Structures are given as C-alpha cells and as structure tokens.
A and B are shown apart, each in its own frame.
Chain A
Amino acid sequence: MARVLPKFSSRSLSTKRRVNRTEPALGLRFFGLQPRFEPNELLEFEFRVQRVARDEVDRLEISVVWYTEGKGTEDLGVHLFQALSAEELSSVLDGKPHPIVSTLPSCPLSYEGRLLNIRWCVRLRLYLNDGREFSSEKPFYLGHLTREV
C-alpha cells in the first residue's frame, strides 16, 4: 500500500515567527470566567499596553460597542468610549493592567439570525505617532440569545 502524504507549501511550514518585536502588545481580559453578561449588568474588564514607549504613542481609545454582521452593511453602536489624553497615557503605558467598569445597556441583545447578526465587543485602538494603528478586541454575549429566535 502506497503512503500518500499531504503536500504543504514550504512558505506555510516556516518556523520563523513573523511577529515584529517592535509592535506593541495590547491585552484585554474580562474579570468573569464566561464572556456572557446580562442586560444592565456590570461589565468589568482590564486592559494592558506593553512594548511601546510613551513618546511613540499618539492616542489610545477604549470602547464597548455592538455591531451588525451579515448580508447588510455593517452598523455600529457605541456604548462606552474613552479616548485617553496625553497626561493619562503615561499612567497607562506602564505595562500594568488597568480596570474599567461600565454598566451594560438593556439592548440590543446579542443575536445570530439568517441575514443579521448582532455582536458585542470591547475594543482597544492604539495610534502611534508614525501613523500606524493597532487594535485588539474581545467579544462577549449580551443576554442569552445566541441563535435566531
């Protein structure tokens, strides 16, 4: 019996790490074990920014948003938005986790339908002085509807 092994591209077998060491690291973590929250519940999370110097950073934005996905054009709704000023940045860029607490709204609930999905996430955007932009997001469910009705 002939043994036929799958052929992989040599490019995808590269063991070299492609992560650029100069890129900043953005971390987001919920305090709870499950990424599921009920409406009007407290959303507690922390973020961390590492591997970047203060003088390289232009601004940092933290937001809690919902957005629609599916066949239609994407819509976005902002529940919480914080843009950190230059003074606040120096205290944030120390590599330590920084907690944020916010009361979630009553709607819209997370939903997965046929044409329309509603998703919630916490999003972190970091803008550097050289024009580069880095973002990280952590999805979560609001409510207990994860499927269409």
Chain B
Amino acid sequence: MAKWVRLWGKKRGDRMSGWWVVGSVGEAAFFGILFLLGIVSLTIVVSWQVFWPESNIIRPGSGFWLTFTASLAFAVIGLTAFILQVSQTLASPERRSAIATKVKSEHQRRSDSEPAHVNLPNLDEMRESPGIKLAYRLPGQRGENSQLILSALFATAWNSIVAVMLVVVIFQSTSPAGPNYFLIFLLLPFLLVSVVATRWFFKLFRIRTGIGPTAVEINALPMLPGYEYQLYICQYGRVEFSKLSVALVAFEETTFQQGTDVRTEVVEVSRIEANLPASVQSDGEKQGLQESSDSKALPTESPENVSDMPIMPSEVAEAGLGQMGSEQLGQSNQAGREGEQTWAETEVSNSSSEPDSGAGTEVESKDIGSERRKRKDRSGKSAGLRAEPEKPLELDCTLLLPADMMHSFHSEHSALVWRIVIQGESVKWPAFYRSFPVAVYPRSAV
C-alpha cells in the first residue's frame, strides 16, 4: 500500500518525520507568492501615481509612501527568502560554504589586504596601539562599560518620569481641587525605584572611575604556544590591593537558539597564571605568614590562593559576564555566598577567642575588620601593590605558554577567546576584574 505524503512533520530527535520536500516547496511557494504580491502591488501603486494621479479608482487609504514602503518590503522579504530557500534545497551545505569562501577570498584579493586567517582573530586592532615599555598596548575588553551605560540610561529615564509625576503632584496639591492621594501613593514606589536606580548607577560609576585605568603591554603578538612572553601592567589611580593575580584565561563562547530566543553562553575552560615579580610574591607570602601568626583563624592571602578565591556576585557583574549562562552564574553566585559565609564565620570565631570580647557579635566583626586593616597599614605588607596618583603601580611579569594549548578561534556562532585577566581585591574598593583580549595563533599559522 502506497504511503500518503505527510504535509506536516514531527520532530523526532535530530530528524523530522514526513517528507522534507513538502516543507521546502511549501516554504518556497509562500515566499514566492509574497514576492509576487509585493511586485504586483508596487507596480499598481507606482504606475497609478505616475500615469493617473487625479483618478479616484485606486486611492491608497494610508498615503502613497506607506503603501509603497509596505509593497517594497513584501517584495524584498519574499525574494530574499525565496532565493535562500531554493539555494538551501538545491545546494549542499559544503557547496554553499565553498561559494561563500570563494566570494570572501575574491573580495580580499580585490581589496589588496594582507591575507588573513578566517578563523583567527585579526591582529590589526591589537597592534595599532604601541606600548611605552613593550611593543604593544592591548585594548580593553569591549562591553565592560555597557552595564554603566545601561544603568545611566535607566536612572535618567526613571528619574525623568518621577520628576514629571512630582511636578504634577505639587501642582495638584496647590490647586483648589486639592491633592490627588492616589497619585501620591503611586509616587512612593516610583521614588523607591528611583533611589535604587540612582544608587546602582553611582556604585558602578565609582567602581569604573575610582580605581583608575589599567594598561597592559605585551612584547609580541600573536602569542604562540611554547613561547614565553613579557607583560607590563600599569595601574593608575589611587588603590591598594590585598590580592592581585594576572592570568591568561580561555573562554568558550557559543550562541544558540532556545525556542525563539538567541542565547550566548560563556565558560572559562583554561587558566595559565603569570609569574608575578619576586618582590610582589615575597611580600604576599610574608603577608600570609604574618597574618597567620598574628591570628591563626584568618585566611592566608598568599598569591597562590588568589586563583582559588570565590567569585563574588558583584565581581561577576563588574566582569561583564552578564552573558554567562544562568546555570554557571548560579554556581558562581553560590560560590560567592559560600565564600562570604566562610569569611564571616572565620572572623566571628576569631573574635570570640580574644579575651576582651564583651560586645555583641556584629560590633566585634566590624572591630576585627578595622583592626585587620590597621595591622596591614602598620606592617606595610601591601606596599608593593599600591598605586598612587603620582606613582602608578607597575608590574613586570612573564607568561609561559604550554606547547599543547588550543589557539584562538572564532566562527559565526562559536569562539574560543584568550584574554589576559587581572583580578584582585582592594582594601576599600569592590572586587577588581579587568580583561584584555589577545590572539593566540597555532605555530603552524605563522
């Protein structure tokens, strides 16, 4: 018995039931009809306007230009989708990709530019800024200021609404009709959101501008596996770090469709720690030892522990990792909360061991925190990690790349990105995180 042709299919795992030709032909026919409809309506509207402008037989109700634009949009969308559908049906993915590659290489040949590797990051942008001490000054990660801009826009828009409402309330209160109590009660939550939004903006603004800019220079680009590279880091502004780490970190980034949403997920997959100067390391180690001898319950702060420090939620936000997957972000937040809890518990237990502890727990933990900072200041242990406006913090470090590491890669929907990440904790500032993209090429590509 002959099978009936199924007009509708069902998704069965990776494949669809039904005959794929029906779907493709149906889709192509739909867009073909859309194109014809657009062309016919466009021809009628234009020809009528040109040859019989005074006639009332066909008079576009919403104006000539609106009808013209709608007809043109129908024609363009229909034609584009029809060609795309036909090419997808008739040509294999390899053939389409080969045609696209050929067009790109032809375009590159005509523009007489240096032949570049399609799937490796372009070096022009990274090399365009020369360094003071080393060959290149690396550009910062794009989008790190997007949260600040977003908060500024939101705070401005919300405060404008609140200001208008406030003016209306004041005018109504002074009018003979009396105040509008409903509007006054409505204003209260609006004011609350306004305060929160403004605080959010100023907090981000303080973080971005208070610590000062960071400059990272490198002696050679692209980076190649198996080679050692010199880094020069210069931190401006007024800041004192209690912890600081410099590392070359690999992130995998993928874009995928989830239903009708397009999502991007970012995961850290590898971390190569840089060798910090011996003076900074020894300071840190001494600091850890002295801290542990002074108060055994306090956690050590040696540079070896820096990479293991928990990721605080504020740190994630400042790092511009908003695109990170919700699952991973949740884990990070949890890790951050666990870290905070551990820290608080440690301080409380330490305070209870002291003989003069007579006050409440909250007061004690504050006292311990201030005492700890005073001890740090007295000993001057973090003097090697202090930046002043007249004397920026300068660090020379080396980065040894393993021979079997993966190179940078990017395609349309996926990427493996290497970044130099500077991460630290300051005494009076929130967690510090700045990243600078670099290009790691395979040795065979150079």
Q: Which residues of A are at the interface with B, using a C-beta cutoff of 8 A?
A: 38-40, 61, 63, 65, 68, 70-78, 81, 83, 106-109, 111, 113-116, 118, 123, 125, 131, 143-145, 148-149
Contact = CB atoms under 8 A, between A and B. Distances in A.
Given A76-B97, A118-B409, A145-B405, 11 more contacts: A65-B94, A65-B97, A70-B414, A71-B256, A75-B412, A76-B94, A78-B94, A107-B117, A107-B407, A113-B406, A149-B406
B323 to A, nearest CB: 12
B254 A123 contact: no
Given A73-B257, A77-B97, A107 B404 contact: no
A68 B413 contact: yes
A108 to B, nearest CB: 5
A78 B98 contact: yes
Interface of B: 21, 92-95, 97-98, 101, 117-120, 250, 252-257, 265, 267, 269-270, 404-407, 409, 411-416, 441-442, 444-445
A72 B92 contact: no
A106 B93 contact: no
Contacts of A131: 21
Given A71-B265, A114-B269, A131-B21, A123 B94 contact: yes
A63 to B, nearest CB: 4
A118 to B, nearest CB: 7
A57 B104 CA distance: 31
B406 A148 contact: yes
Given A40-B444, A72-B413, A75-B413, A109 B94 contact: no
A109 B441 CA distance: 11
A70 B98 CA distance: 23
B416 A113 contact: yes
B294 to A, nearest CB: 40
A71 B269 CA distance: 15
Contacts of B413: 68, 72-75
A75 B416 CA distance: 14
A107 B409 contact: yes
Contact of B250 (A38, A63, A125, A149): A149
A114 B101 CA distance: 28
A70 B254 contact: yes
Nearest to B272: A149
A109 B21 CA distance: 36
A115 B265 contact: yes
Contacts of A145: 404-406
A63 B405 CA distance: 28
B118 A77 contact: yes
Contacts of B98: 63, 78, 81
B437 to A, nearest CB: 16
A53 to B, nearest CB: 22
Contact of A38 (B97, B255, B444): B444
A78 to B, nearest CB: 4
A73 B254 CA distance: 8
A125 B270 contact: no
Given A61-B95, A149-B405, A109 B442 contact: yes
Given A106-B444, A107-B409, A63 B94 contact: yes
Contacts of B255: 72-73
Contact of B254 (A38, A63, A72, A111): A72
